[in-house]
């Protein structure tokens, strides 16, 4: 009997390829091992190459013009006064997990940009940093909503983002980034090992917050 094929996608938001693939390659043994034993290459991003719309472009195979948004904040009409926030409700097309869900595949996504509010999938969807709260049962950041309690039992208070990541207190910022990352990886490792899935994708935002808070 053949082994079940699975796909795992790991995203490091805002991680520069020239550092991960080149300058820091020998300092990142797991990345180096994957690169040495597999196939890899640089991919051209969309324009603009920022978190929103890039992740949705990649996962839908549509450019920002087709998707209809070019960043988090978009014009709500033809004026310059009305702005809207491009969350999951702005994505009017299928992304990979939607197609796989309809095909009967089990999917899990954790923290992928533009997955709040979470949408029904054949599996679990944990919202991204756009989630306003992880404690409001009336506006769950997960699908199904019951996953909120499961996550809390595993990691305690779950962090979808680092609060006040533009703070001048850089030591506080790093502690928060480490805490967020450790909790997310604890959850992801447990679900990878114990859940039933065909497609698993998670995106780590700590790398992005380091850039926002520390890069000069």
111-133 per-position pLDDT tens digit: 999 999 999 999 999 999 999 99
Q: Does residue 74 sit within a domain?
A: no
Q: Does residue 27 sit within a domain?
A: no
What is d(CA 127, CA 134) in angstroms, rounded to the nearest whole number? 9
pLDDT more than 70, % of the chain: 99
Long-range CB pairs of 176-182 (<8 Å, 24+ gap) are 177/206, 177/209, 177/210, 177/213, 178/206, 180/205, 180/206, 181/206
Looking at residues 190-208, what average pLDDT do you find? 97
Neighbours of 82 (CB within 10 A): 10
Structural domain including 166 reads: 7-14+94-214
Q: Does residue 108 sit within a domain?
A: yes
pLDDT of residue 98: 98
Q: Does residue 137 sit within a domain?
A: yes
pTM for this prediction: 0.93
**Residue environment code for 87-97, b if the CB has 16+ CB neighbours within 10 A, otherwise e:** bbebbeeebbb
User: Position of tokens 């805490």?
Assistant: 179
pLDDT at 42 over 90: no
Looking at residues 11-36, what average pLDDT do you find? 91
Q: Does residue 58 sit within a domain?
A: no
pLDDT of residue 216: 66
pLDDT of residue 121: 98
What is d(CA 205, CA 69) in angstroms, rounded to the nearest whole number? 21
Convert the chain into a string of H (helix), E (strand) and C (coil).
CCCCCCEEEEEECCCCHHHHHHHCHHHCHHHHHHHHHCCCCCCCCCCCCCHHHHHHHHHHCCCHHHHCCCCCEEECCCCCCCEEECCHHHCCCCCHHHHHHHCCCCEEEECCCCCCCCCCCCEEEECCCCCCCCCCCCCCCEECCCHHHHHHHHHCCCCCCCCCCCCCCHHHHHHHHHHHHHHHHHHHHHHHHHCCCCEEEEEECHHHHHHHHHCC
pLDDT of residue 128: 96
What is the number of domains present in the chain?
1
pLDDT at 1 over 60: no
Distances from the Cα of 87 to the Cαs of 38, 92, 128, 199, 202, in angstroms?
A: 34, 11, 9, 22, 17
pLDDT of residue 57: 97
pLDDT of residue 2: 61
pLDDT at 54 over 70: yes
Q: How confident is the model at residue 163 (pLDDT cuts 50, 70, 90)?
A: confident
Q: Does residue 207 sit within a domain?
A: yes
Q: How confident is the model at residue 82 (pLDDT cuts 50, 70, 90)?
A: confident
Sign of CA dihedral 210, 47, 70, 131: negative
Q: Does residue 185 sit within a domain?
A: yes
Looking at residues 87-113, what average pLDDT do you find? 97
Looking at residues 102-115, what average pLDDT do you find? 98
Q: Does residue 1 sit within a domain?
A: no
């Amino acid at each position: 009997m053949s082994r079940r094929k699975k796909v795992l996608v790991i995203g490091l938001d805002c991680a520069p390829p020239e550092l991960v693939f080149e300058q820091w390659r020998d300092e990142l043994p797991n990345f180096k091992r994957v690169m040495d034993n597999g196939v890899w290459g640089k991919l051209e991003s969309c324009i603009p190459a920022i978190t929103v719309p890039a992740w949705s472009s990649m996962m839908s195979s549509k450019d920002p013009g087709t998707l209809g948004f070019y960043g988090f904040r978009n014009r709500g009409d033809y004026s310059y006064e009305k702005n809207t926030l491009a969350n999951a409700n702005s994505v009017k097309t299928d992304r990979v997990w939607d197609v796989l869900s309809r095909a009967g595949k089990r999917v899990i996504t954790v923290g992928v940009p533009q997955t709040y509010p979470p949408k029904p999938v054949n599996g679990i969807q944990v919202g991204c940093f756009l989630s306003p709260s992880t404690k409001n049962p009336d506006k769950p950041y997960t699908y199904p909503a019951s996953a909120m309690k499961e996550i809390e039992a595993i990691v305690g208070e779950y962090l979808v983002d680092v609060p006040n990541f533009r703070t001048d207190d850089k030591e506080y910022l790093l502690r928060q980034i480490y805490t967020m990352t450790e909790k997310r990886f604890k959850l992801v490792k447990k679900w990878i090992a114990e859940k039933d899935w065909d497609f698993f994708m998670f995106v780590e935002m700590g790398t992005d917050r380091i850039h926002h808070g520390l890069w000069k």
